[in-house]
Amino acid sequence: MAETSAIEWTDATWNIVTGCSLVSPACTHCYAMRLAGTRLKHHPSRAGLTREVNGKPVWTGEVRINWDWLEQPLQWTRARKIFVAAHGDLFHEKLAASEIATIFAVMIAAHHLHDHILQVLTKRARRMRELLSDPSFWEQVNAEAEAHVMERTDPLERRRDDARATLGEYGADNPPPGIWIGVTAERQPEWDERTEHLRRTPASFRFVSIEPTLGVISMRLVETLILAGESGPMHIAPLPTWLDLVIAGGESGPGARPTPIALFRSLRDQCAAAGVAFDFKQWGEWIDADEFSRMVAPERIAAGPLTFAGATKLGVDCLAPCEHHSDGSTSLRVGKRRAGRLLDGREHNGAREAA
């Protein structure tokens, strides 16, 4: 676990769960798997979670709860955004419902006591929806959260500061504040399947992370209400969207796949049309050639789209790390640090700005 994080949309990671199994095309270059099999291979939280296949670490399928770290968010007193189980999946099928409830109870208490924002992101959207809709799950969560809060509030102070000592009765009809519930989706099929569960999951804040962005996604964010008018014609009224935030980004690390800029623009524009906050996290290893030329040599903009020769002049070796897309755009592999996070010349900071 870490009190700080390099992930742009959070402040800290709480690695209460480590170990996982691949469920989606986006898992192919799983960062957590690589880390568990290399740098953290001998760390007690990761040892034995991967084995080597063709020289690369692959999950064994074991999932571990790091119980020693259970109360970490309760010990951090300065309010921050905390990414829960950043190196695993909180709703993995190998975890018991009661274990997930115990983790949830800490999340609720951590928000209540210290104003932390807890961010949960899963690819197991169906299980998340089922659990967060189950009254017996909430019964356990409420009881354990209450115990954490009582243990940490002085009995004398409790009388003076009743609000701090008194927790709400949370459940499907009253989801707890301060907990972001999200799914990841990389292409249309994953978007359709997972966001349908997310939409029906009780939550006070819902978000989707599209990283890496691997295909065109039509978000279908705004539902429409169709009313029959008395004189015949139908009246169509947009309903407020159920989604609070979309985070998008490209892939980083070895074997990273490039994303055409048009896909990011489309996500940004759909969010703007639906009134959903948008965060462009990063380009990743690859960046659009024109975006890169705008960054490193703004005067080139007038000269039109970047060519191989132009890219070479900018110091980019275009022999291997160039990929041409069917829409006519080109991606350059310049590395995550150089690629940065400007989209059409500006930052999009929806996650940082979200309450």
Contact call for residue 89 and ligand SF4 (CB under 6 A): yes
Name which position in 88, 175, 250, 260 contacts ligand SF4 (CB under 6 A). Answer: 88
When binding is defined by CB under 6 A, the residue of 2, 8, 25, 27 that contacts ligand SF4 is 27
Residues 6 or more apart in contact with residue 130 via CB below 8 angstroms: none
Among 16, 17, 30, 120, binds ligand SF4 (CB under 6 A): 30
The verdict on 90 binding ligand SF4 (CB under 6 A) reads no
16 binds ligand SF4 (CB under 6 A): no
Q: Is residue 125 a contact residue for ligand SF4 (CB under 6 A)?
A: no
**Min. distance of Cβ 21 from ligand SF4 in angstroms?**
6
Supply the minimum distance, in Å, between the C-beta of residue 23 and ligand SF4.
6
- Of 25-33, 229-237, 272-280, 287-295, which segment contacts ligand SF4 by CB under 6 A? 25-33
Q: How far is the CB of 56 from ligand SF4 (least distance, A)?
A: 13
Q: Are strands 286-288 and 330-333 parallel, antiparallel or unpaired?
A: antiparallel
Q: What are phi and psi of 228, to 5 degrees?
A: -85, 120
CA dist., res. 333 & res. 160, Å (int): 59
Which residue lies nearer to ligand SF4 by CB, 30 or 219? 30
Q: Judged by CB under 6 A, how many residues of this single chain contact ligand SF4?
A: 10
Binding to ligand SF4 by residue 2, rule CB under 6 A?
no
| 22 touching ligand SF4, by CB under 6 A | yes
Interface residues with ligand SF4 (CB under 6 A) are 20, 22-23, 27, 30, 32-33, 88-89, 123
